[in-house]
Structure 1
Amino acid sequence: MVRRYGDLTAVDGISFDIAPGETYGLLGPNGAGKTTAISMIAGLLAADSGSVRVLGEQMGPSRVAVKRHIGLVPQDLAIYPELKGRENLNFFGRLQGLRGKELTTRVDEVLDLVGLTDRAGDPAKEYSGGMKRRLNIGIGLLHRPTLLILDEPTVGVDPQSRNAILESVEALSGEGMAVLYTTHYMEEAERLCDRIGIVDSGQLQAEGTRDELIRLIGGLDRVRLDGSGDLAAAADALGDLAAVEQVDVDRTGLSLAVREAPTAVAELVTRATAAGVTLADVEITRPNLEQVFLHLTGKALRD
């Protein structure tokens, strides 16, 4: 997909696919092109070149039938504040063609999924920011879309509401729904997404599972052993372990590059102690998507 605004190329050749039951994350800073990309996927914008297909059908602004397979939850809230929570869902459900008992049953199911059953009779204007976000997600789920698109759904909400939103999203892939999730929060992508596409400057820099992306930067954990004693002897002893790739010694301890440090750390401590080191502290640092992003783009995720 390519989309330009004058001299600015907002989306520059982004390409990926999402399988049923998969949660695919687009991870990148604000302004990376994520929202423009999903606007094309949802058929709100036409691509200047390239194409979008949902269930094998071409997507575009005039393709009304295929749009019925998509649920879109935008960054900006799309709810009616004067209507009660249930009334909002009933209204949007009717727009999607739901009627009668089917509509009532589906509204009840969605209220339960997003944790708003107890507040269904209250006007949406009385909801907290997090509750409004959850109602927004519920609206996108009503018609059981094949593809649910969530654009930065946790922006501006408190930690408790954010966790409730993430729990709701986690339940969706179990229903066989394909989910496209955009975020600039690394921890959300790591928690929710089966595969992740890293986006910057309108381009897809890399994609894969978390572990596949971590391997781009070597994939090794760092272990710091602070202590005193015969550090040189400990370095020799630790360097013989199969899990240890590198050992560096300084005057306050040892720094190691290790494969699967949580599994190896007990043996590291045992060998260092046996070699004559008195340990004061042990710290494990595992590589994460923030480091992958920095490696690929040369800047921090939130720059």
Structure 2
Amino acid sequence: MKSIPYLSWIAPIIAIIVGFFIGAVVIALSGLNPIDAYARTFSQFFSSLFKIGEIVVFAIPLMIIGAGLVLSFEANFWNIGAEGQLWVGGLLATLIGLYINTSAPIYFITMVIAAFLGGVAWGLLPVILKIKYGTNEILTSMLLCPIAILLIDALLTGPLKDPVYLFNQTQLIATEAWLPVLIPETRITLALFLALACVIVVHLILQRCSLGYQIRAVGHGLKAAKASGINVSKILLLTMIISSGLSGVAGYTLLTSIHHRLLRGFSPGGGFLGFWGYGYMAIAV
């Protein structure tokens, strides 16, 4: 069966139109005017440059996590623990921003690496259990999210808590570690370029590298991949390293672009013990 040209571009547009139509029906059944409701909503979104910028600001972590999840899902490995990986990545980046005194370029390099490694550290257990014992990665990766958030919350109420405030948060990281703003009067920072780079790298891995071919082969047929000589365990491990590492990098962007400290509410999933937030929203992305 031949694929329909440009289907990958048309399908999302159709989905958006259908979504708006269903929303309009629900609004109308509620006794309101759907056209007026949509008009008021979009007028709020685009009422100022700052609000327009916020759409991009909150899209950045979703782009980075979503790019990483694409890899794991292509390998048929369901990484549902991105939220916990985001928090641990943000934690390690925060420690560097608080306790190391250096220049902006060194902050950027070291904090990105630390955030990546933090995400990897929290993503290794599910993939190891999957490889060695065939454990369901959905459960193990998901249940690690509340563990990460509770551990970090314990730190925020104890050794990392800012003594000046009652709220559970750290002190501000060094201003040299803050990512510079790209567009005045918004919070759009250089994190946008970092997010775009992550998307491009993942695309190149999947479409231009042998690793991407092996990832797709493992995802589409595990037994066939093994029969063709692919080291399935190695591919799953590499895939999860990249996937969970990018989730950690998303924590770095939240830290250096929005909050400038680690705190309760760092990601919306904190209040739900990791069962919501950017890590879960990015699954849809």
User: Do the structures match in fold with TM over 0.5?
Assistant: no
- Normalising by structure 2, we get a TM-score of 0.21
The structure in which a higher percent of residues are strand is 1
The structure in which a higher percent of residues are helix is 2
Q: Report the structure number with the largest CA radius of gyration.
A: 1
